[in-house]
Structure 1
Amino acid sequence: MSVDVRTEIVIDAPRDEVAAYAADPSKAPSWYANIKSVEWETPPPLAVRSKIAFVAEFLGRRLAYTYEIVEYVPGERLVMRTAEGPFPMETIYTWTTEGAGTRMTLRNRGTPTGFTKLAAPLLAAKMRKANTTDLRTLKTLLDQH
């Protein structure tokens, strides 16, 4: 069973500003509650084939994985993938103008393997909750009232 979780939020800030902040891996711990550290494996700036190592905690477990950037259109779309661990995953960010603000969509999809395969429905629900919380945090950081 595959997992495909899509969440979105409207942020009261210009698209280029929201996208630049959200696409900067070094900023991830400021708005992703589960991400504890980020380390560039290739030199910045972000580009296709960049590799970034993340350490996260999810469902009480420590997860270490490396994302590779497979598509990047600044201000529009970012796609990163990892093939590591029990849950190979793709994360997609998209940004569109919504009135004077920005609609950011966060999508995680993948096919759990091993023991995580049995927990796919639970993983999807927990991911949706975490992603919603993370996008709200990003909104709080970037909203321009």
Structure 2
Amino acid sequence: MAVDVLTAISIDRPLVLVADYAADPANAPEWYANIASVSWQTPPPATLGSRLDFVAHFLGRRLSYTYEIVDFVPHERLVMRTAQGPFPMETTYTWTSQGERRTRMTLRNRGEPSGFSAVAAPVMSRAMHRATTRDLARLKSLLESR
């Protein structure tokens, strides 16, 4: 069973500010509750082909994985993908303007789990939706308080 989780939020900040902050993987531990650290394999800034090592905690497990940026249109879309581990994942951010000072951001995580992860896919989907909804709320709070 595939996992495909889409969440979205409107942030009262200009698109450029929201996209620049969210597209910088170094900021991820600040707004993602489950991401403990991010380290660059390739030199920053984020660009097509950039590779980053993430350490996260999810459903009581420590996860280490490498994301590669496979699509990047600044201020529009960022797609990162990993093919390793029992749960290959693709994460997509999109940003659209809702006026001069408001931005809609979507966060989509999708993948095709295998092994035990495949059996747990429905539980994982619900947990991922709760987590990413909280993460986007945290991002909104951080950016709107600046």
CA distance in 1, matches of 2:62, 2:102: 35
Structure 1 residue matching 2:57: 3-state secondary structure: strand
TM-score normalised over the length of structure 1: 0.98
- Partner residue of 2:24? 24
Structure 1 residue ranges, 4+ long, deviating more than 4 angstroms after superposition: none
- Partner residue of 2:120? 119
After TM superposition, the structure 1 = structure 2 runs for residues 80-91 of structure 1, keeping only pairs within 5 Å, are: 80-91=80-91
Where does the alignment leave 5 or more consecutive residues of structure 2 unmatched?
A: none
Letter in structure 2 aligned against 1:48: L
- Percent identity between matched residues is 63
After TM superposition, the structure 1 = structure 2 runs for residues 39-58 of structure 1, keeping only pairs within 5 Å, are: 39-58=39-58
How far has the Cα of 1:129 moved from its partner?
Answer: 0.1
TM-score normalised over the length of structure 2: 0.97
CA distance in 1, matches of 2:39, 2:64: 11
Alignment check: 8 A CA contact 1:8 1:132 kept: yes
How far has the Cα of 1:113 moved from its partner?
Answer: 0.6
Letter in structure 1 aligned against 2:111: G
Letter in structure 2 aligned against 1:19: A
After TM superposition, the structure 1 = structure 2 runs for residues 1-145 of structure 1, keeping only pairs within 5 Å, are: 1-99=1-99, 100-143=101-144
What do residues 73-100 of structure 1 show as CA deviations (whole Å, max 9, x unaligned)?
Answer: 1100000000011100000000000133
Deviating more after overlay: 123-132 vs 135-144: 135-144
What do residues 14-45 of structure 1 show as CA deviations (whole Å, max 9, x unaligned)?
Answer: 00100000010110000000000100000111
Where does the alignment leave 5 or more consecutive residues of structure 1 unmatched?
A: none
CA-based RMSD of the aligned residues comes to 1.0
Change over 3 Å in CA distance of 1:144–1:56 after alignment to 2? closer
Structure 1 residue matching 2:33: 3-state secondary structure: coil
